[in-house]
């Protein structure tokens, strides 16, 4: 059932307020069949709110929502979106962690009933995973909560593209590659392109501007709840896109990967560890003041190494040698990072409580002062730091986790893919902050799925199958070398 103009969805003048925050301030958006639409904007610009409205999760305060030309404003809901072939892959993944991969797939398909439904659901999701992510290594009977965040993201994406009886018209992908490595991200984006060429439509929300520029037919830029630019993808380049987002960063800054002066071994060892495999090409060593990268395909032992070091420092385990207090910026912020019931300020201050306790109680003035300082330093977008942490956009929650680690007394900071969902302007500021703190003697161990971020590191260990397979200096580092090491024996 398609209206005469062929549009899948059109939103007119859609607004949504959360108290004083105008998350959407009158947005128009239109998606046509066979279109990959890129949606970009700074953290808190309103992208996820707009997509939540489109997925039927949030009811707008005003505006018109039309699907296939029909005005559904008054009766729009998740069920109506689903019936009209609109699905969403959420930034904060929506899988049930206690169910298997197959059972999670079944949730989207009520028609999968009767004898053998589990096997059929398993075959369906396995087939889609094979199609999108060949070599994914996920089994239909895996419990979702046991999977790494990258694999969970893959399951959530594959599930969104499964089809049984109802047809699929539009898949909204909210930062789908944020936990995927370069190889898996490309598999997904190539798949999306094929689907779009066959008539499906996708909305791709991403802070990876290269992805949006390379894969989207049309790009819409949001700023402070408004659409500020909407043009054919080919009419943008990185400069004009960054400028449209309202970022004051210059392109040279983004591309500048100038190595800092660093002589390895001139400072004492801060961390020494080995993987469990016994196959390491080099021991894992970080010196005081060093920025050490952890690279390779996702879930090849990088997070395990960070947790091993964390446990050695926090619980006195002999799994690694650590010279001082550590703080961890968790990669899976919903599960391991934020305290969901607490305010933003308390979430930041929790790692520094010792310095804030007066007569056995947390000093609210000190806590608020720390919150305000970090709000200014890394621009956490909120009207009130006493608001609940969940009132922040995804990228702003991630900034709060950064602030927690940097505000603490930790001499060693472990970062597990810490820039998930952080916008381009903030990233550059955080990179500078990390450099400054390293100059002052802090040690950073930085696992990242973003190749470009490794250029901020003094040297980089590449992991494969749980072992260290290469140790690249800043000068030796290249995407090709990291990929080579990720697939071959050593580099
Ligand atoms: N449930 C909520 N309660 C209060 N404020 C909210 C809520 N959800 C979103 N907001 C606010 O609305 C604004 C837009 O948030 P949204 O999540 O849409 O941004 P975004 O563009 O998706 O950001 P990011 O790139 O960080 O994911 C932000 O200022 C955010 O703090």
Is the pLDDT at 393 greater than 80? The verdict is yes
pLDDT category of residue 251 using cuts at 50, 70 and 90: very low
- The values of phi and psi at residue 170, to 5°, are -140, 125
Q: With cut-offs at 50, 70 and 90, classify the pLDDT of residue 490.
A: very low
| Gap from CA of 405 to ligand 1 centroid (Å) | 23
* pLDDT score recorded for residue 255: 52
DSSP 317-368: -TTEEE-S-EEEE-SSIIIII--TTSBHHHHHHGGGGGGGEETTEE-HHHHH
DSSP codes, 412-443: EEEEESTTTT--HHHHHHHHHHHHHHHHTT-E
Q: What pLDDT, on a 0 to 100 scale, did the predictor assign at position 5?
A: 65
The verdict on the CB of residue 49 being under 6 Å from ligand 1 is: yes
Sheet holding 70-71, edge to edge: 21-31, 9-18, 62-67, 70-71
What is the residue with the minimal CA distance to atom 17 of ligand 1?
Answer: 393
Q: What is the mean pLDDT of residues 2-17?
A: 82
Mean pLDDT of the chain: 89
**Mean pLDDT on 240-245:** 90
pLDDT in tens, 401-455: 999 999 999 999 999 988 888 888 888 888 988 999 999 999 999 999 888 899 9
> By the 8 A CB rule, do 380 and 293 touch?
no
Position with higher pLDDT, 134 vs 486:
134
pLDDT score of 342 more than 80: yes
Give the range with max mean pLDDT: 83-87, 200-204, 470-474. 200-204
Task: Summarize pLDDT for 109-164 with one digit per residue, the tens.
Answer: 877 888 888 899 999 999 999 999 998 999 999 999 999 888 999 999 999 999 87
Any atom of ligand 1 within 6 Å of the Cβ of 395: yes
pLDDT at res. 258: 62
pLDDT at 53 (0 to 100): 94
Ligand 1, atom 6, residue with closest C-alpha: 391
Model confidence pLDDT, tens digit, residues 278-292: 777 888 999 999 999
Task: Answer whether 425 contacts ligand 1 (Cβ < 6 A).
Answer: no
227 lines ligand 1 (CB under 6 A): no
411 CA from centroid of ligand 1 (Å)? 32
Q: What is the percent of the chain with per-residue pLDDT over 90, rounded to a whole number?
A: 63
Rounded mean pLDDT of 184-209?
Answer: 95
Q: What is the pLDDT of residue 308?
A: 92
Residue 472's pLDDT is what? 93
- Could you tell me the distance, in angstroms and rounded to a whole number, from the CA of residue 36 to the centre of ligand 1? 23
Residue 327: predicted pLDDT? 95
CA of 428 to the centre of ligand 1 (A): 21
Q: Which of ligand 1's atoms lies nearest the C-alpha of 42? A: 25
Q: What is the DSSP string of 31-77?
A: E-TT-EEEEEESTTSSHHHHHHHHTTSS--SEEEEEETTEE-GGG--
Report field, pTM of the whole predicted structure over 0.90: no
420 lines ligand 1 (CB under 6 A): no
Q: What local confidence, expressed as pLDDT, does residue 279 receive? A: 77
Give me the mean pLDDT over the 234-250 stretch. 82
Cβ contacts of 406 within 8 Å, gap of 6 or more: 374, 413, 433, 437
Q: State yes or no: pLDDT of 169 exceeds 50.
A: yes
pLDDT at 338: 85
For residue 199, what pLDDT is reported? Answer: 93
User: For residue 491, what pLDDT band results from cuts at 50, 70 and 90?
Assistant: very low
**How high is the ipTM of this complex?**
0.98
Strand order from edge to edge, sheet including 86-89: 86-89, 170-174, 201-205, 36-41, 218-223, 226-232
Residue 1 has a pLDDT of 41
Q: Is 85 in the pocket of ligand 1 (CB under 6 A)?
A: no
- Cα 376 to chain centroid, rounded: 23
Q: Which residue has the tokens 């609210």?
A: 364
481 vs 471: CA distance, rounded Å: 10
Predicted confidence at residue 12, as pLDDT, reads 95
How many A from CA of 163 to the centre of ligand 1?
Answer: 30
Mean pLDDT of 304-331: 88
Asked if 84 and 71 touch (Cβ cutoff 8 Å), the reply is: no
177 Cβ below 6 A of ligand 1: no
Instruction: Give Cα separations from 185 to 1, 21, 90, 176, 208 (angstroms).
Output: 33, 33, 16, 8, 11
CA-closest candidate to residue 431, choices 413, 419, 420: 419
Q: Is the CB of 279 under 6 A from ligand 1?
A: no
- Counting from 1 in the atom list of ligand 1, the atom nearest the Cα of 50 is 18
Of 17, 27, 44, the residue with max ligand 1 atoms within 8 A of its CB, to mutate for a pocket test, comes to 44
């Amino acid at each position: 059932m398609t209206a005469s103009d062929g549009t899948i969805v059109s939103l007119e003048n859609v607004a949504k307020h959360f108290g004083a925050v105008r998350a959407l301030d009158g947005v128009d958006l239109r998606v046509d069949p066979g279109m990959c639409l890129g949606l970009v904007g700074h953290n808190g610009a309103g992208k996820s709110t707009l997509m939540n409205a489109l997925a039927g999760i949030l009811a707008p305060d005003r505006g018109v929502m039309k699907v296939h030309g029909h005005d559904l404003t008054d009766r729009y809901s998740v069920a109506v979106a689903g019936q009209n072939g609109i699905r969403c892959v959420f930034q904060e993944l929506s899988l049930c962690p206690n169910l298997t991969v197959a059972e999670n797939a079944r949730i989207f398909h009520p028609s999968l009933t009767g004898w053998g439904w589990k096997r059929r659901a398993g075959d369906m999701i396995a087939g889609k995973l094979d199609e999108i992510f060949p070599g994914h290594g996920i089994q239909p009977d895996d419990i979702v909560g046991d999977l790494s965040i990258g694999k969970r993201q893959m399951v959530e994406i594959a599930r969104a593209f499964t089809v049984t009886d109802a047809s699929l018209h539009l898949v909204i992908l909210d930062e789908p590659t944020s936990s995927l490595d370069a190889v898996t991200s490309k598999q997904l984006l190539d798949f999306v392109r094929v689907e779009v060429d066959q008539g499906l439509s996708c909305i791709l929300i991403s802070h990876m501007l290269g992805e949006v520029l390379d894969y989207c037919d049309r790009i819409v830029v949001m700023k402070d709840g408004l659409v500020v630019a909407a043009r054919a993808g080919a009419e943008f380049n990185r400069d004009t896109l960054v400028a449209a987002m309202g970022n004051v960063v210059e392109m040279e800054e983004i591309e500048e990967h100038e190595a800092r002066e660093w002589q390895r071994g001139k400072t004492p060892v801060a961390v020494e560890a080995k993987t469990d495999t016994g196959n390491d090409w080099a021991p894992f060593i970080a010196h005081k003041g060093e920025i050490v990268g952890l690279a390779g395909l996702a879930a090849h032992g990088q997070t395990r190494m960070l947790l091993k070091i964390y446990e050695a420092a926090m619980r006195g385990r002999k799994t690694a040698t650590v010279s001082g207090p550590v703080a961890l910026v968790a990669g899976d912020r919903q599960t391991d990072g934020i305290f969901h019931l607490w305010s933003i300020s308390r979430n930041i201050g929790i790692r520094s409580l010792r310095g804030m306790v007066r007569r056995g109680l947390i000093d609210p003035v000190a806590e608020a002062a720390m919150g305000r300082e970090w709000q200014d330093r890394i621009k956490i977008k909120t009207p009130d730091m006493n608001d609940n942490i969940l009132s922040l956009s995804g990228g702003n929650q991630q900034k709060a986790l950064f602030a927690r680690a940097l505000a603490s007394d930790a001499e060693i900071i472990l970062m597990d893919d810490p820039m998930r969902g952080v916008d381009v302007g903030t990233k550059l500021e955080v990179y500078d902050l990390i450099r400054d703190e390293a100059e002052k003697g802090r040690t950073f161990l930085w696992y990242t799925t973003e190749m470009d971020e490794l250029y901020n590191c003094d040297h980089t260990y590449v992991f494969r199958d749980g072992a260290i397979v290469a140790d690249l200096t800043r000068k030796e580092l290249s995407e090709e070398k990291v990929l080579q090491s990720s697939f071959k024996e050593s580099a």
